[in-house]
Structure 1
Amino acid sequence: MSDVISLTGIWGFGYHGVFDHEAKNGQDFFVDLEIHLDLSRASVGDDLADTIDYGALADIVVEEITGERVQLIERLAGRIADRIKSGHPEISNIAVTVHKPKAPISAQASDISVTITR
């Protein structure tokens, strides 16, 4: 069985990117999480101890967005996935999508994102 916890659009302001102006000026980043795990105990017992605290997950994401600068959003997504998964062995699969809507590209695009799955 694989149930899913999803968090969408977690926002943080970070200084990630390859270019100097990204490190200097920063920009908005948004992260989506899709976490697969067995929630059968939580669905019957109604106890927070039988699931994962969504607020704690969001806090980890914001800490990573606002924390140490990385050049690639691939790296940012991987750090988030690895940190959450290592703290929660009950997770069978996690997908982390990092959105960088103001990515410095020459074409017009409403969003640039990368998804990492562990």
Structure 2
Amino acid sequence: MALASPQRRQDATADRFARADRITLTGVGSVGYHGVLESEKQTGQPFIVDATLYLDLSKAAATDDVAQTVNYAEVAETIREVITGDSLDLIETLAENLAATMLDRYPLDAVELTLHKPKAPIPVAFADVSVTIFREAQ
């Protein structure tokens, strides 16, 4: 029996979540001290997160009860907490930590997030640097 290729697994995952319920938070930001350069770790800079939380919202809708969903104000606080936490070199690592923390704390099926670093120390004009990751609950 042949194993599914990575692309086929990725396509199946995309199909499964394409029409799933979701909560989206955009532009959640805080100052963090992340970067390869020592100056980034000393002075800090803004990091902005757009997060899509995948979970079944039908029970919350039927009961009109916040306890049956994810409180997005708490998620925003979690994002701030991780951004302002321990200094890291790479935004890829910060994005991974954000996703892992959200999946650990909240009853999510998956999370997709884009982490923006709009003030990255790049010596040419640019609008933004970002990484986007998608992680499923285990």
TM range (shorter): over 0.9
Shift of 1:56: 0.8
* Matching residue of 1:55: 73
* Matching residue of 1:91: 108
Larger radius of gyration: 2
RMSD: 1.1
Ranges in structure 1 where 5+ consecutive residues have no aligned partner: none
Question: Greater share of strand residues, 1 or 2?
Answer: 1
CA distance in structure 2 between the partners assigned to 1:84 and 1:111 by the alignment: 24
* Matching residue of 1:42: 60
Q: Which has the higher contact order (CA 8 A, sep 6+)?
A: 1
Q: Paired residue for 2:47, among 1, 7, 29?
A: 29
Identity among equivalent pairs (%): 44
Moved over 4 A (4+): none
* TM-score after normalising by structure 2: 0.81
CA distance in structure 2 between the partners assigned to 1:45 and 1:79 by the alignment: 32
* TM-score after normalising by structure 1: 0.94
**Number of residue pairs the alignment of both structures matches:** 117
CA distance in structure 1 between the partners assigned to 2:37 and 2:46 by the alignment: 15
* Matching residue of 1:105: 122
* Matching residue of 1:13: 31
Shift of 1:86: 1.4
CA distance in structure 2 between the partners assigned to 1:51 and 1:14 by the alignment: 28
Ranges in structure 2 where 5+ consecutive residues have no aligned partner: 1-18
1:115 aligns with 2:138: no
Q: What amino acid is aligned across from residue 59 of structure 1 in structure 2?
A: E
